[in-house]
Amino acid sequence: MLKVLVASSKGGAGKTTIATNLAAHYAVEGKNTVIVDADRQGSSLRWAEKRAGMPNAVLGLSGLRRDWAKHVPEDAERVVIDSAAGIRSGEVGDYLDDIDAIIVPILPSSIDLEAAEPFLSEVANLPRVKKGKVPVALVANRLKPWTNASQQAVESIREFPFPIVAELRDTQGYVLASELGKSIFDYNSEVVRSHQDDWGKLLRWLKKIG
């Protein structure tokens, strides 16, 4: 069972988008997938509820309960945890004994980069992360790669203590799919496939872990 925590120290970075699309990818692959929503807004839970009647459903669980791990079915193969908004490094530390990897989305803005820097430095010093027991990866999110701002942001993100494993371009496709309880992995158009390709490196990184 692979357990992945999606976390961000700043709200609005696309944490839930990453979590729901990752969960949907695994479900479309045929894996029994659970999404744990630890955010009080409950967006991932509502997404899972909309998806409940689909062939590739994802089980949604509330992560606001301390005993959420006891409710994960034994046959679950993938667990994606959508952390609380604005999570602190110490709160990330509370998950470390129960997860296999951490994904941190970062937006290409100076405000987001400045917020990410101290958070990532603190996460890098958490014992299990520092010892290499729990790998951490960064996702540069909502990029407009044809702009200097996005290009410069990616270069800045490369200076952080963890690798970039995905550069996701900005598209309304994520929003439209989410409203239906779907993801970009539920579609097969040529345009959508190009955005699916943006996830390739991240998915390969996770496959090496478990």
- Domain ranges for the chain: 2-201
How many angstroms separate the CA atoms of 35 and 37, rounded? 6
Is CATH 3.40.50.300 what the domain over 2-201 is classified as, yes or no?
Answer: yes
Average pLDDT taken over every residue of the chain: 92
- pLDDT of amino acid 62: 92
Helices (H), the chain: 15-28, 43-51, 89-95, 110-124, 127-130, 148-157, 173-179, 190-197, 200-209
Residues 6+ apart with CB under 8 A from 4: 22, 78, 79, 80, 81, 99, 100, 101, 102, 103, 206
- pLDDT of amino acid 164: 95
- pLDDT of amino acid 17: 95
- pLDDT of amino acid 70: 85
- pLDDT of amino acid 77: 95
Quick one: tokens of 89? 């490094």
- The rounded percent of the chain whose pLDDT value lies above 70 is 100
- pLDDT of amino acid 136: 96
pTM exceeding 0.85: yes
Q: Each residue of 113-139: pLDDT tens digit?
A: 998 999 999 999 999 999 999 999 999
pLDDT, average across residues 85-106: 91
Q: Each residue of 17-70: pLDDT tens digit?
A: 999 999 999 999 999 999 999 998 899 999 999 999 899 999 999 988 888 888
- pLDDT of amino acid 69: 84
Residue 206: which of 134, 117, 130 has the closest Cα?
134
- pLDDT of amino acid 30: 94
pLDDT, average across residues 2-27: 94
pLDDT, average across residues 2-28: 94
Is the distance from CB of 1 to CB of 98 less than 8 angstroms?
no
**Residue holding tokens 């996770």?**
206
13 falls in which pLDDT band (50, 70, 90)?
confident
